[in-house]
Structure 1
Amino acid sequence: MKRLLIPLAALGLSAATLSLPAAAAPTWVSDPLAPKAADAYSNASFWLDANGAALKKATQYRLDAKDVPKLVRPQTQTADGKPGMTAPTGDKPVATRTKNVNLPKTIGKVFFLDRKGDYRYCSATSIQSTHRNLVATAGHCVYEHGEDVFAKWVFVPGYHQGKAPYGVYAGAYAFTAYDLDTYDDYDGDFAFVAVHNGFRLAGEKKVTFREFKAWQGDKWVKPHEITAAEYAKCELDLGGCWSEGKDTPADKVGPDYPGAVLEKEEVDAKTYKDAKVGKGNGFKLGEPVTVPVTKAEHDAYKGLGTKAVDKRGNHTITTYYVQKWVKPGTSRKYYLPEYVIGLAKDAGRLGDVVGGQGIAWNQPMNQQVMAFGYPSAPHPDGDRPFTGTTAKWCSGKTGTKTYQVNTFKVETHQVLKCSMTGGADGGPWLLKYDNNKRTGYVNGVTSLFHDQDGNDRIDFISSAYFDGEVADVYNKANYTATKSVVGPNGELPS
């Protein structure tokens, strides 16, 4: 994110003439991702095209598994005000006797392009908001090194093995801590992103040129190959056909010519007998070929081969071939345009489709939480137990104190014993998780991974402590309105 600083002198003012109260330090910033429907449509289509090929190609954003920072110097609790909560929304609970953990519908992956153009992902969750359109994730999964926002940012709830069962939700506006955006300070490594309505591809449809021209969504021309005769008629009918290339004969070349192709050339018996054995134009090509024929075929044959009739009256024809090395010719091709539009479907507001987790701030330490995410990075020792294709979880109590992490300017991270690796960053820490309702309160998002016992295995994850400043950023994002990316017929809204 770039900011324009204007000198006072340029405004015709001086510091001495200003008599304003000192402003409080800012706690939040906001940046546009893709506010316009056309840009959001393009971003969602990018990830869904070719049966989600880009989704499957993406790798976790954190690649260096050996760069694992240590937790140091435990601190006292960092609450900066009264505890607070916003309740979750979602489906009505379904009666169940299972002792297994029911994964929330709200969790998924965020996908984006980094500065190098590489396809990346992090974990995230849908969170309750006024317009039911908010995603919570790690700040570093939205802002690259605390600077510009990532390109083509989308959220895919319920992501499972390359599928987007509830559609793709393109990011519209991002909100994060001022200190993360300005100083890359991971005490503020969280973000809330307001997303547009979900988006699904719904196939394609062949249309007339007039319909094609009027269509405001995805559209393309498919070339359909036709014959020269059809092309001539098409030209007369002014049908918009076109041709490519030209007709050129094959040229005879030597066998060592780059791209030379071997063809057989029929000759008479004497020419074949006199030909050399080896590789080259006019050299013998295999043995003579003798085939049985009928008497009528035998009598009618006027070719270069030899005819024969054996004692039993069997008729045969023997043909002879030599080598002919050529550079292939080309042929002109003719095409008729087929006009195709891409159909899309509005999947609705995120919170209406999958619900939204609650959020909690200024909560006591040493509380039971469930952390969810899509880990895929190896441990520092190289072992890779996770694939990133399915969601995983950790359960336990957060530490009794917050910790510093010097490498990332962290002073007050909360910690959880957990072996999830990179790719799980951005995933929610859910307080008071109801396994029946599949809802809880987001009280953190995975930020960093740690190897405290030095055995080259991740054993702790950490998150920004959710305090009043986090609540302030959430409240700014909470009222952000977004829109549907496609109209009722799958077109871009005007």
Structure 2
Amino acid sequence: MKRTLAFGGIVATAGLLAAGLAAPAQAAGDVASKPLAATGIQAHNIAAFWFAERAANLIQATPYSVETQVAAKHVSGGGPSADSKPGVVPAIGDEKKAASKSKNVNLPKTMGKVFFIGADNKPHWCTATSVQAQYRNLVATAGHCVYDTASNKATLDYWVFVPGYYQGKTPWGVYVGKQAFTHYDFDVYEDADRNYAFVTVYNGIKMPHAGFDGVRQLIKDRKWDELKSYAWFKEVDKATYLAYKAENALPAYEAGGKYYAWKFTDAGRLGDNVGGQGIAYNQKLGKNVFMFGYPSGSHPDGNYAYSGKTLKWSYGKTFAAQAPAVKGEELQGIKSSFTGEGSLGSAWLLNYKSAKRIGYLNGVTIGVADSDGNKRIDTSVSPYFDGETIGVYNAAKSLWSGSIA
């Protein structure tokens, strides 16, 4: 007999998940894909936006709060069900399993923030994580941290991932999103049961030591020799130069009948720098998971709980949940005090090995709730990762991105 808990528009079922069918559902028609930066020049200008004025846009970005707190009419029963056998994709560095134990909780290097421009034309961020992929170039987060559900535009603009971000610092570089993948039902219907996304990213690029404003002044003053001495520029053809000039985001200049554009420094592949979490799907509920994210903001009672500046963790046992207000009939939840702002996209890691800092991604936070009405957030919810999820992942996992430096 199942015990059902109703709270804040989410219905939780404290029963375990039964075994499923034979093979993961991976129909190609179920996957939606959109470009974020189709060319190197587009990617350069996106990076320039975040690097400008000594990373002012990164520093001033605020947590994304679209559809964060779940509140809806109570609905009884239901919850997720497996659509095939349980399965896992090992994390980077864990392809050959080895036992490891640790009493401390070491924070994963794979975690970071995704930055983008929201429907209000202001910079915002969510939480995200690097995951396993053939070319070590894949990021996982909540679907509405990639696809624009607020203005119904295809995707959010100027999308980048910054692992280990802290107050303008980009320790492993900035990774510009190339191609976004989600489930067709989220792309078209905003179905919360499919509110997840996988994004391929270009190789990282390093933050310039010198600000663009000073470089532009040198161009304005026509100090060509000084510009060349810094090795900030590379020679390009006229068409590339004109493309840079049209965007007006990166410095470019013409001198002596030759054309020059800004030269970024390659930071390497994402997975090589920070690793990548594995993926778990069709898992039984009732298992303990670690949740890692950058929660920010206040509880409903006004208590300021988290700053969003540093990575935090929470630990809990998964249970079945529903949130009909956001079309979520097959969700999973865990008990957590993470407030919603900033925690969207937080990684739920099953079998997390603290010594290695890796586990299996088994969910991403898409909303939070106050289950007992005391005006304190106490629950986070995620889509249940099933065969449909691994189908979207499989569509993204083997696509090459390359360097834009």
Does TM, scored on the shorter chain, surpass 0.5? Answer: yes
Aligned to 1:476: 395
Question: For the Cα contact (< 8 Å) 1:37–1:483, is it kept in 2?
Answer: no
Aligned to 2:54: 51
1:388-399 alignment, distance < 5 Å? 388-399=308-319
Bigger CA drift: 75-84 or 31-40? 75-84
Question: For the Cα contact (< 8 Å) 1:90–1:351, is it kept in 2?
Answer: no
Aligned to 1:226: none
Q: In structure 2, how many angstroms separate the alpha carbons of the residues matched to 1:84 and 1:394?
A: 24
- Per the TM alignment, residue 160 of structure 1 is displaced from its structure 2 partner at its CA by 2.1
Q: In structure 2, how many angstroms separate the alpha carbons of the residues matched to 1:466 and 1:440?
A: 15
- Aligned partner of 2:171 among 165, 176, 195: 165
- Computed over aligned residues only, the root mean square deviation of the Cα atoms, in angstroms, reads 3.0
Deviations 1:112-164 (A, max 9, x none): 00122111110000000111100000000001116510000000011123311
Aligned to 1:123: 127
Q: Cα–Cα, structure 1 residues 203 and 344, in superposed 2: closer, same or farther, change >3 Å?
A: farther
1:22-421 alignment, distance < 5 Å? 26-62=29-65, 68-69=71-72, 72-90=75-93, 99-145=103-149, 147-204=153-210, 208=224, 214=235, 218-219=250-251, 342-399=262-319, 402-421=320-339
Structure 2's unaligned 5+ residue stretches are 1-26, 245-249
State the identity as a percent: 47
- Per the TM alignment, residue 47 of structure 1 is displaced from its structure 2 partner at its CA by 1.1
- Per the TM alignment, residue 214 of structure 1 is displaced from its structure 2 partner at its CA by 3.5
Alignment partner of 1:108: what SS?
strand
- Per the TM alignment, residue 208 of structure 1 is displaced from its structure 2 partner at its CA by 2.3
Alignment partner of 2:57: what SS?
helix
Question: For the Cα contact (< 8 Å) 1:147–1:181, is it kept in 2?
Answer: no
Question: For the Cα contact (< 8 Å) 1:201–1:343, is it kept in 2?
Answer: no
Q: In structure 2, how many angstroms separate the alpha carbons of the residues matched to 1:363 and 1:65?
A: 25
Aligned to 1:467: 386
Alignment partner of 1:182: what SS?
helix
Structure 1's unaligned 5+ residue stretches are 1-23, 222-238, 241-338, 487-494
1:365 partner amino acid: L
Aligned to 2:13: none
Alignment partner of 1:344: what SS?
coil
TM-score (norm: length of structure 1): 0.65
Q: In structure 2, how many angstroms separate the alpha carbons of the residues matched to 1:70 and 1:371?
A: 27
Larger radius of gyration: 1
Question: For the Cα contact (< 8 Å) 2:88–2:360, is it kept in 1?
Answer: yes
Q: Cα–Cα, structure 1 residues 49 and 367, in superposed 2: closer, same or farther, change >3 Å?
A: same
Question: For the Cα contact (< 8 Å) 1:127–1:356, is it kept in 2?
Answer: yes
TM-score (norm: length of structure 2): 0.78
- Per the TM alignment, residue 479 of structure 1 is displaced from its structure 2 partner at its CA by 1.3
Alignment partner of 1:377: what SS?
strand
Question: For the Cα contact (< 8 Å) 2:80–2:329, is it kept in 1?
Answer: no
Aligned length: 346
